[in-house]
Amino acid sequence: MSPRVWGRVRATYCRLLPIVTTYCPANAEPIASVRQASLEDYEETIKKAKEAWKIWADVPAPKRGEIVRQIGDALRKKIKDLGSLVSLEMGKIFIEGVGEVQEYIDICDYAVGLSRMIGGLVLPSERPGHALIEQWNPVGLVGIITAFNFPVAVYGWNNAIAMICGNACLWKGAPTTSLISVAVTKIVAKVLEDNKVPGAVCSLICGGADIGTAMARDERVDLLSFTGSTKVGKQVALMVQERFGRSLLELGGNNAIVVFEDADLNLVIPSALFAAVGTAGQRCTTARRLFLHESIHDEVVEKLAKAYAQIRIGNPLDSTTLYGPLHTKEAVTMFLDAVEQAKQQGGSVVYGGKVLNRPGNYVEPAIVTGLPHNASIVHTETFAPILYVLKFKTEEEGFAWNNEVKQGLSSSIFTRDLGRIFRWLGPKGSDCGVVNVNIPTSGAEIGGAFGGEKHTGGGRESGSDSWKLYMRRSTCTINYTKDLPLAQGIKFQ
């Protein structure tokens, strides 16, 4: 790939403005330079996307599904190349990079079936000779702003479902993963153009905060899906709400695993390990808090520290590597600052917590014990591999500690008690959008709706009935008689 990318890449507009250089997190060396779009480029792009929507909206939903199926097939042919690019530019290990592309493929497959199933209810009317139905139509243009940590999958969740619903898409990826955004868009645009559909149905614009702000404030963006930090998400939500627009927010997560005394530790140790250090702690579903019943605390900490010591750290493109670098040097600084704060607040680092002496953004994943459950650092989401391990005594305590943070994304308990499991799933249990039992907090399937509550934003993407967020609903009453009865028996004569 050319070391410098600019101009128009099918539906991609990245013209003569500041250049952002992307770096390989594994060695801190530059990969490519990508020119950022101007607001004039943005204006041109959004006009083309809106025009393309007029064509796309007239395509029958099953035909839209067929085109999305072809997108999935095109991604299959490039899955290893794209997975390698994710590892190179984002830093996650190769198998996770491939898995992320697989998520996009899976949601394409899911969307194909959904394209023949989306629809509203036919309801009984109280008036004779009347039909009462729900009609669903696309919202129009869906803006999609994605984060660095899932530069393919999150776009895929939104894109595939939005497309079969009849929407055009405008994507702004993270500036630090611009090559991935361009590569994916080229694949999608080729499929669209092979089907004589304008490539601008799936547009990409490379840019920074100014482009994101423009999307949030633009009334032509009918739905804005934003994935990122709670701090920025709040600003986005306010800008969208100011114009009475729609937003879909996937924000932070301070996720907990609660382990009871009857738990199967053969499940607990690998689950906690994957949830805490997978993607080097840079998933929104990463486990950041581990609550252990006091009777098993010391045993689990000892076993977990031994498991940490066996993690194969290395180049993310090496198929044997299980743990790669953090995405940026700034992330390394945040990691070190959080470890220091944990120490100052009374925590003990029982494993890791240091920068590794090698090129790139590598740190030792940290296990911290001894902090109170309400310590400020425990309640702070640090996007890094730091696991705070705390003792609890009772079920009520474990459930309450899970819920006491501001975010509400993912959660899990480990227990064999059937009553406890259903209390956990019930109204007094976990207040998160993802509520697991005997599995990690991360690694969600595409068939369920994905998202969280409270400061996580409340949005839902991917499966279940998430498609409804990408459409507008009309209730339609049709009179097929010559009479005019009114609802509620009202007489107006």
Active-site residue set? 250
Residue of 351, 354, 349, 323 lying closest to 336 (CA atoms): 354
- Note whether 41 and 210 are within 8 A (CB): no
Residue 279 in 3-state DSSP? helix
Residue 430 burial (10 A CB sphere; 0-12, 13-18, 19+)? buried
> Checking DSSP bridges between strand 19-23 and strand 30-35, what pairing results, if any?
antiparallel
How many angstroms separate the CA atoms of 130 and 133, rounded?
Answer: 10
Q: Which of 171, 154, 93, 35 is nearest to 327 (CA)?
A: 93
Q: In what order do the strands lie in the sheet with 471-479?
A: 122-123, 130-138, 471-479
d(CA 82, CA 185): 12
Backbone phi, psi, residue 64, to 5°: -60, -40
Residue 211 tokens, joined: 């482009």
Asked if 10 contacts 190 with a C-beta cutoff of 8 angstroms, the reply is yes
Number of H helices, E strands in the chain: 13, 24
End-to-end Cα, the chain, rounded Å: 75
Q: How far is CA 209 from CA 191, 214, 215, in A?
A: 30, 8, 10
Measure the CA–CA gap between 341 and 333, rounded to whole angstroms. 12
Contact 119, 137 (CB under 8 A): no
**What is the rounded CA–CA span in Å between residue 42 and residue 205?**
7
d(CA 314, CA 299): 28
Q: Maximum Cα–Cα distance for the chain, whole Å?
A: 87
Please give the Cα distance from 93 to 73 (Å, whole number): 23
Q: What is the total residue count of the chain?
A: 493
Q: Tokens at residue 151, please? A: 């530069």
Q: Which two tokens stand for residue 315?
A: 């180049």
Q: Which helix (H) or strand (E) holds 261?
A: none
